[in-house]
Amino acid sequence: AYEKLWLALSIVLILALIGTVTYGAVGPGVAMVADTQQTVDSGALDEDERFSEPRVEQVGENEYEAYVVAYQFAFEPSPIVVPANSTVTLHVTSRDVIHGFEVAGTNANTMVVPGEVSEITVETDEPAEYGIVCNEYCGAGHHVMEGKLHVV
Ligand code: CUA
């Protein structure tokens, strides 16, 4: 009787393992790799032209850096356009109050604090369009604050 129990238990464990692996592999087209928060002097940020002209820059064969500014009540640039099958580091800061930056349907999610730069590195695979939502209450227009991420 014990043998049957062990057999049943092993099957359950194997199925659980397969389930975990499958779930991991079938994730969305954007996977978050890292989420770090850097503190940068806000005065220096004002002079940083990458944030005064938010944009995406190519820094390697399949590597991109995006400079994104959140403000009441939008994200810039929008859409953020990045190629499929690439590594994209998003540098996000705020011009006014604390905002959130969440790529809807993925685990790319960070708080955006004025005077600081939040970094998220994502791996893109297939072309897709994502919404970017603010998930920190930031004022009267919070619920309409959104952006777009286009993987092309
Ligand atoms: Cu920005 Cu809520």
Q: Would you say residue 3 lies in a domain?
A: no
Give the CATH number, domain containing residue 84.
2.60.40.420
DSSP state of 1: -
Instruction: Quickly state the pLDDT bin for 6 (edges 50, 70, 90).
Output: confident
Ligand 1 pocket, 91 CB below 6 A?
no
Ligand 1 pocket, 69 CB below 6 A?
no
Tally of structural domains, the chain: 1
> Which are the contacts of 57, defined by CB distance < 8 A and separation ≥ 6?
50, 64, 65, 66, 67
Rg (CA), the chain: 20
Ligand 1 pocket, 99 CB below 6 A?
yes
Q: Whose CA is nearest to atom 1 of ligand 1?
A: 99
> Which are the contacts of 116, defined by CB distance < 8 A and separation ≥ 6?
37, 38, 39, 40, 93
pLDDT at 24: 45
Q: Tell me, what's the ipTM? A: 0.99
Q: Which domain holds residue 86?
A: 29-151
Query: Of 16-25, 110-119, 138-147, which one has max mean pLDDT?
Result: 138-147
Token pair for residue 71?
A: 């403000």
Ligand 1 pocket, 21 CB below 6 A?
no
